[in-house]
Amino acid sequence: SAVISQKPSRDICQRGTSLTIQCQVDSQVTMMFWYRQQPGQSLTLIATANQGSEATYESGFVIDKFPISRPNLTFSTLTVSNMSPEDSSIYLCSVAAGTGIAETQYFGPGTRLLVL
Amino acid sequence: AQSVSQHNHHVILSEAASLELGCNYSYGGTVNLFWYVQYPGQHLQLLLKYFSGDPLVKGIKGFEAEFIKSKFSFNLRKPSVQWSDTAEYFCAVKSSYKLIFGSGTRLLVRP
């Protein structure tokens, strides 16, 4: 398994501003993932971040809105840009541990974001 | 595209009752299946997983799940629930490198 921490744990932001969320893992991992969990809904993958390459975004998510950095094998950031109330969600960092078919994803505690 | 369906959105049980939460997936090939749990105020935790082999998978805290390929199902079970099992439960299927989650089931166990 992996121990994942996120900062901040929660924030209240004004519309039009941006917030950068940090994700730190206690071990080196190749793949890191960013998910969004909107109120009362399930988790949706935003993008996959591999060290040394551009993040891969899922349908409906774009780099201009959710820029991601992955400077090394233990750290990543997700920025929520030009926020609107619709961006109010929990944002979760996840990492893949294990190899091959035994690969399992573990999740951080999440960042609870409220946009006013 | 793959999808995951969880039929029960809210379940209310009394302590010691038996639990079964339904999960169906749409993919017909080799699947990796997971159940995650999110206790109130806590982060998502892995409850159990199925990759291959014995279709009956045992997880933490007395939970188990059965993979039935012919029914495209991976239902979660516990013979006797406790108040501390109150949480939201998510079924997920691995598609390539990513997880596809069901909508979740909120379980409330009354003491």
Residue-level pLDDT at A101: 65
Residue-level pLDDT at B63: 97
Q: What is the mean pLDDT of chain B?
A: 92
**Nearest by Cα to A112 from A49, A52, A39, A61:** A39
Residue-level pLDDT at A64: 96
A to B CB pairs, distance under 8 Å: 43
3-class secondary structure, A6: strand
Interface test with A, best of B7, B44, B57, B105 (most A CBs within 10 A): B44
Partners of residue B36 in chain A, C-beta under 8 Å: 107
Do the beta carbons of residue A80 and residue A89 sit within 8 Å?
no
Q: Tell me what percent of the residues of chain A surpass a pLDDT of 90.
A: 78
Question: Does residue B84 surpass a pLDDT of 70?
Answer: yes
> In whole angstroms, what is the distance from residue B13 CA to residue B16 CA?
8
Partners of residue A10 in chain B, C-beta under 8 Å: none
> In whole angstroms, what is the distance from residue B101 CA to residue B36 CA?
9
Do the beta carbons of residue A32 and residue A24 sit within 8 Å?
no
- Token duo for residue B82: 């406790």
Task: For B46, name the nearest residue in chain A, comparing CA atoms only.
Answer: A106
Residue-level pLDDT at B68: 94
Question: Does residue B28 surpass a pLDDT of 70?
Answer: no
> In whole angstroms, what is the distance from residue B92 CA to residue B98 CA?
10
Residues 20-79 of B with CB under 8 A from A: 32, 34, 36, 42-46, 49, 51-52
Q: Which tens digits make up the pLDDT trace of B52-80? A: 889 999 999 999 999 999 999 999 999 99
Do the beta carbons of residue A96 and residue A73 sit within 8 Å?
no
Partners of residue B99 in chain A, C-beta under 8 Å: 43, 45, 94, 105
**Nearest by Cα to B60 from B41, B92, B40, B84:** B84
Contact: B101, A42; criterion CB under 8 Å: yes
Q: Which tens digits make up the pLDDT trace of A19-68? A: 999 999 999 998 899 999 988 788 999 999 988 888 999 999 999 999 99
Q: Tell me what percent of the residues of chain B surpass a pLDDT of 90.
A: 76
CB-based contact, B17 to chain A, within 8 Å: no
Burial class (CB in 10 A: 0-12, 13-18, 19+), B85: buried
Task: For A41, name the nearest residue in chain B, comparing CA atoms only.
Answer: B103
Question: Does residue B1 surpass a pLDDT of 80?
Answer: no
Most confident of B27-36, B41-50, B101-110: B101-110
- Token duo for residue B68: 């039935």
Task: For B44, name the nearest residue in chain A, comparing CA atoms only.
Answer: A107
Do the beta carbons of residue B57 and residue B67 sit within 8 Å?
yes
Three-class secondary structure assignment of B36-104: EEECCCCCCEEEEEECCCCCEEECHHHCEEEEEHHHCEEEEEECCCCHHHCEEEEEEEEECCEEEECCC
**How far apart are the CA of B44 and the nearest CA of chain A, in angstroms?**
6
Q: Which tens digits make up the pLDDT trace of B34-56? A: 999 999 888 899 999 998 889 99
